[in-house]
Copies of this chain bind each other. A is one copy, B any other.
Amino acid sequence: MNIAVAQSGGPTCAINASLVGVFKQGIKTDKIDAIFGSINGIEGIINDNLIDLKRVIRTNEEMELLRQTPSTMLGSCRYKLPDYEKDSEVYEKIFECFTKHRIGVFVYIGGNDSMDTVVKLSDFLKTKNSDIKVIGIPKTIDNDLPVTDHTPGFGSAAKYVATSVQEIIRDSSVYSVDSVTIVEIMGRHAGWLAASTCMLRANGEIAPHLIYLPECDFSVERFLEDLRKEKSKHRAVIVAVSEGIKLDAEECGIENFQSGVEDVFGHKYLSGVGKCLERIVAKEIGCKVRSIELNVMQRCSSHICSKTDIDEAEEIGSAGLRAALEGETGKMMCFKRISDAPYVVTIESVDAKEVANKEKVFPQKWINAAQNDVSAEAENYFLPLIQGEVKIRLKNGLPVHFKREAL
């Protein structure tokens, strides 16, 4: 029997570690022959574009390098499977590819959109009375997948964000004039990553004075009120804001500040919330103001990834393949937290239907009454996820990343 693995959705620092987890489990399982990598997610299966991973990852050193390489080694996609009833052609192509290559297990590493594929594909295979198993491995820096305690990729993103915000706070406080610094952090509908900046308090550092999440209603008027209050206490005020907070264009007096292009899953590409708030502060308060967008560095800064995150991403990849070999299908693997301190998690499986196309938002119980900060309980939740550092391999003072030879 052969197996196939694919990566999908936005890149993270940990998605290649999950690939390594699947691969490692594959090479030590007797009944598995070839381990195929599908290029550009499910598109590689549809187009019969597979590579033999044993010819690509050849040494322990390469395996370690791949673990610390950001982004998806196999490429990614944002392809959404049609409903089988409406369009079965693509399903037949997938089935043909699986049959041709004797694929017994398909492991899909991705976010909630990818779990939609896991559900549809496993349902389809059941109608075919096929024995092929389909398993999902969670992945997203947004940490917004239901059921699982957290998602691989999030810990590394949070470690980068918290570290950078600590450095930005130092940077912003050097002048004797009043200033406001706004840091825009990724998170479409869930504010986990922006909220995680509260971790800075664990070391007695200043955390952002104001934290705004998409889980709360946002009002420009209240924002300016909050800001004036903080400005009376601090010379340099720091604001962390999720890209997904909803600004009222009319209230802002600025139009077209958020681009509205939708992708095939109906997500809006947001940008510019930080820039918009910067303009509002400049106009209404008039002090020195700067907005900073941490942008894709949040999902690809492997040089400062979390060892806990990378190790867990590998483990959950291995666990996914083991679950499939034990007969599970249509499932996503997930973390269950046993305790914060000492930090203990177990890995379980959950019906992918519970996850597909759903989002887990940041809980209201961890948001303060003024809706502009998060509680110490959140700090305890976040901290274990960023612990430990991966010993990054360097050459000429720069990171060495895994290179896929021309195939």
* Residues of A in contact with B (beta carbons under 8 Å apart): 11, 40, 43, 69-72, 75-78, 159, 162-164, 166-168, 170-176, 199-200, 202-205, 290, 292-297, 299-304, 306, 383, 386-389, 394-401, 403
Contacts and interface: CB of A to CB of B under 8 A. Distances in A.
A141 to B, nearest CB: 11
A11 to B, nearest CB: 5
Contact of A167 (B40, B175, B302, B386): B302
- Residue from A167, A292, A394 having most chain B Cβ neighbours under 10 A: A167
A162 B394 CA distance: 13
Given A203-B398, A296-B290, A400-B203, A43 B176 contact: yes
Given A76-B175, A77-B175, A295-B293, A300 B395 contact: no
A396 B303 CA distance: 17
A389 B395 CA distance: 11
A10 to B, nearest CB: 8
Given A167-B70, A297-B297, A302-B167, A199 B396 contact: yes
Contacts of A78: 175
A393 to B, nearest CB: 11
A2 to B, nearest CB: 23
B297 A167 contact: yes
Q: What is the total number of copies of this protein in its complex?
A: 2
Contact of A174 (B75, B170, B301): B75
A18 to B, nearest CB: 15
Contacts of A174: 11, 40, 71-72, 75-76
Given A70-B167, A202-B396, A398-B199, A296 B292 contact: yes
B75 A175 contact: yes
A71 B398 contact: no
Nearest to A296: B171
A102 to B, nearest CB: 26
Contacts of A166: 398-399, 401
Nearest 10 A-B pairs (CB), nearest first?
Answer: A71-B170, A171-B300, A76-B174, A386-B397, A167-B300, A387-B397, A202-B396, A40-B176, A292-B295, A72-B174
